[in-house]
Structure formats: C-alpha cells, structure tokens
Structure 1
Amino acid sequence: MYTERSTLYVVATPIGNLADITQRAAAVLAEVDLIACEDTRHSQRLLDHLQLNKPLRPYHEHSDGKAEANLLESLAAGQSIALISDAGTPLIADPGYRLVSAARAAGYSVVTVPGPCAAIAALSIAGLPSDQFRFCGFLPARAVARDKVLEQLTDDRATLIFYEAPHRIVESLAAMAKICGGERRAAIGRELTKTFETLLAGTLAELAERVANDRDQQRGEIVVMVAGQLQRSSGSAESRRVLQLLLQELPLKRAAAVAAQLLGGDKRSFYQLGLQLQERSR
C-alpha cells in the first residue's frame, strides 16, 4: 500500500511526456479515493494513459472556500486524496497551497510525491548559474506592473526563473532587455519534454529579437531564465534612484557624468538610462 486514510498526497505529474510519470506517483493515483485537479478533462487524459478510473474533483484558482471544505470533509470521512495540477508539481504557480494549508491546519497528514517541475527542468539545461535561483512565477499582465516587478528584481544575484504566456512573451522579453540590460545572459525553455521542445540561450537582446521574429517561439509552455546581476550596472535599481535624483537638479549630460563618478561605470550607459527615465516620466 502506498496510501493511508485521511491523507492528502501532493503528486507531481508529467509536464509533457507522459512517460515521465514516476512509479510512486502512478501507484498513489491508483490507490487514492479521489483526485483534486485543475481541469478534469486534461487530467482524464493522464488517467486514461495509466488505465485508471478515479473520481476527479475540480480544484483551481477560481475555486471558492466551498471546494476546500468539501475536500476536507472527504478527508474527515477517512478518504485519501491526490492533489495534482495540469502539469508538473502542484503549488508551483498554482493555487494548491490553500488546500495544503487548510489540510495541515485541520490536522491531516500531507505527503509529497515529487517528480517533474518545469522550472527545475528548464534550469537544468539552461547553462546558467544554478547555485542560487529565484522562482518568480508569472509576471503581471499589465506593462506598468510588469516593469515595476522587473525593476525590483534586476539587482538580484540569483538566476531568475519566470513562466510566461505565449501571447505576452515578446513584450516581456523586450521589457527584460530594457530593464535588466540587453547584455544579460538568459535562456528560454519552450514545450519541455514535448515533441517541439526548444532551448534558446544568449543575451536578452538576442533572445528578444529572435522570439519577436519567429512565430514558432511564441507558442506553447514557456520558461524564461535570466542570469543574476553579477555587479552593479547603470541599469541597477540603485543607479536609477541616484540618477533620478540628479536629474531633478542637473541637465541629463551632467547628471550622467556625476552618476558615473559616484557609482562607477560608463557615463554613456547612464546617459541612455537617463533618456529612458525621462521618456517614462512624460
């Protein structure tokens, strides 16, 4: 037996290739009383592959407290439950944490059944530093909010990992190149473990141009990884703050020169940053 009564199992499922299901995950799914999932039609394909017939109960970002309460009632009745997402490890960029938190608070056992995760799979083949990394999930859809998040992250020394929607990838890469610096090393993993898997690596400027000019790279599930900031640059949050203060008192050319003297760096880069700051303020 792989399962126990009144236990919630957090089960990782394949991110594309169904052969990546682990033996333990398949065994747990075969034994639990019911499966909580994001999309019942999507998850049914996995069950069909495993030749399983199990009750599927929807649990997703739009689920209300009633859905959690019903699942807790099932645990109280002695049933075992598997929590899965559409792909990969539950709770990574999905709402499963609410159910896990509620189950733990109610005193029920929560057990992990580890396996595939798109963020880790992409990082493992990106060729970027992996001793420190930061999972950032999806960037905000609106440009102003997205840029603000990127500005807060640009000085982070850890490799940054983002999930991105196909219809926003071109704008997001352009924003990353503008805010983090076009010369910053990055990589894009697309459709990992699937038939049309690709991994692109280069600078943010190179990747932004490549994806903008290739419709095929604007499809599917996408993971974007950006190398951490190795040293202070004219694009850092501190540099922007100092330059903004200087621009309140000095002409752009002089402000750029003073910023370069104070912080170190190329005054031409500070001048370009100043142009961007002035453009945004209009």
Structure 2
Amino acid sequence: MGIQRSACGLCAALLIAGASGQAVAQSYGNFVLGAGFTPDPQTARGRTGGATQANRFGPQCAGMIDSTPDHTIKVTSTLDLQLSVDSTTDSTLVVVGPAGVFCDDDSGGQLDARIDARLTPGEYAVYVGHLDTAGDYTLTLSEGAGPAAGTGGMYANFTLGAGFTPDPQVGTGTTGGGVAASTYGGHCTGMIDSTPDHRLTITSTVTLRLAVTSTTDSSLVVRGPGKVLCDDDSGGQLDAAVVDSFRPGEYEIYVGHLGQAGEYRLEISETR
C-alpha cells in the first residue's frame, strides 16, 4: 500500500461506536459482524491498491491489490452484507472467504466498487484495489437485502441437505481452465480449472439437479464420494446439467467449456 498502516489500525478488532451511534472509521480496521449487527453501517478507510494482481483470485477479479488483506471480517452468523467503496480513483473490490470469492469493479457507481454477498460464518479477507492510480477510500459495510434469494456469488460454496432453502441456490463464474475434463474419466468433456469452481457440502441425502446457463458451450464435472458425474449438453442450448442423488460428504464442482471461455450461472435445486 502507498501509506503506512498505523499500529492501532492493524490491531483494531472492531470498529467502535461513536457518540452518534455510528461506527467510527479507522484506517485498515477489522470487523466482527453477524446478522443484526450494530451500529449499521460500519466504516473503515485506507489507500487502494498494491503490488499484486487481483486476478490471482480468479479471472473475474480486476485491478491491483495488496499482498495482504486491507481488512478482515469475522462473520459470526449468516448475513447479507453490502460492501461499498467511495474513493478518489477507479476502485476495485475483492472478498475471499468460506462463501466463495466475490469481485467487483464499477457496481457502486462513479467508477467505485460494490459487492452484495450472502456471507456464511468464518473469516473473510477484503482487498480494495484500483485499475489505474492509487487513491484514498472509505469502505462502508451495511446489512441489506443481499443478492437475489439463493445467490451465493462468484465461485460460491454451498452447504445443502434435504429441504434446503432458498431453492434454487445460485453461483456464478467464468468457465474452463487449463485441465482436460477427461482426466476424471473418458465420459467427461471440455476444459476445466485445476481447482474446483464450487465446493458442495451435503449434510443429508438429497436428490439434486445442477444446471448451467452460459454464454458458451459449457460442460460440467461433479466429483465426490463414490461418483464422478459429467455432462455436456443435457441442459439445452449447449449447456450442461446433471441430476443425481447425493449422500453426505464433500463434492467438487467444475464448470468447463468445449470452445471458448464464457460467463456462467449454476443453479442447484432439489428434485423429488
């Protein structure tokens, strides 16, 4: 970062409330938040950017960020959180944690970044970057409606069991990677990433349909206890879909392509 972080900024575990009931902004402050947190909003400030590319977290992430998080968020209970940047430059935002990787460039307007995410409990790293030159920023966190029901965001992970809500659950991302899907069996087609796009934790036996809609010819690989599911065009319009019964355990989901990379939306719904 372009400015030195103060000792109090690095050690701050919470943004403390001022006399007005609003959270006092601290440089590079950290947060502990859960559903219904107060005060709302909470804020922190800092300097955008750093020496590393945001795309180290995925091709959907843009700009230059620091090698270490600008802020951390300890989420104590699932909540819908809006993270908004107000800066003097063209800002970007990256949030990395148990619910997945969330990235944005201009959704906040005026070249600033904003992310609406459903965050599950755990530790999240927050990076505020820039596309051009460094600038000062204020980061505001507020509880809100979050994304559309069931939307976990880019490269989201899922924990599901019979009767899960909301249904469907949704994740997004960019297809493909540098690995041939046939690595996992001759019935698997397309190019996929070397690491899963999504992780699926099943808590009780459930029958699921995983369906992709995309801007390309997508393929799908699902790996887990006792199974490797692969598909190319069962979702229609060159998109992939699989239906199967899933018993408790950990599963990996890869969304690939047969031609060029494209953006995708993955929907996971229960079938009976």
* TM-score between the two structures when normalised by the length of structure 1: 0.28
Task: Say which structure is richer in helix.
Answer: 1
Task: Say which structure is richer in strand.
Answer: 2
* TM-score between the two structures when normalised by the length of structure 2: 0.29
Larger gyration radius, structure 1 or structure 2: 1
